[in-house]
Structure 1
Amino acid sequence: MPAQLFVNDAVNCDHVHSRRDAEYLINAFVNGDVDSAWGELGGGARYTVILTREAAAELAGGTAGEIDPQ
C-alpha cells in the first residue's frame, strides 16, 4: 500500500516542514521503526498524525508552551 498524506489546507502551517516530517515518518514505517503513536487500520495499514504544537495544545486543553517537543 503506498503512503498517503492528508493535508488540512484550512490550517495555517508550514507545509514544507510538514512534508519533511511526513517523509521522515514514511521512512520510519518502511524501516519498521514505529512506536505506540502509530495506530492500526487493519490489513497491515498503519497511521500516525502530524500536528503543530498549537494544535496539540488545543486538543490537550493546554498551551503550546506546555507541549514537550519530541
Structure 2
Amino acid sequence: MTDKKQPQQQLEEVVLLKPHTHKGRQCAVGDKIDVNARQKSWLMSLGKVATDEPAAPAVKPAPAKANKE
C-alpha cells in the first residue's frame, strides 16, 4: 500500500483589493489571506489581489521652459 499524501503546498500571503469570501468567511479590502499559487493566480485574474508586476513609476512631466528670444 502506498502513502498518497499530497506534497505540502507553499502558501503566500496576499492583500485583498476587493471584498472576498475565503474559507467560508467574508474578508474585507486590506485583509491578508494565505493562498497557494493557483488561488493567487485566480484572484489576480479577478482583480481581487495585486499582480506580481511592479507598478510603473510615476512619471512627472518636465516643467515647461520659458522661451527666451
> Per the shorter chain, which TM-score range?
under 0.3
Which has more helix, going by share of residues? 1
Give the TM-score, by structure 2 length: 0.23
- Higher relative contact order by CA 8 Å / sep ≥ 6: 1 or 2? 2
Normalised by the size of structure 1, how large is the TM-score?
A: 0.23
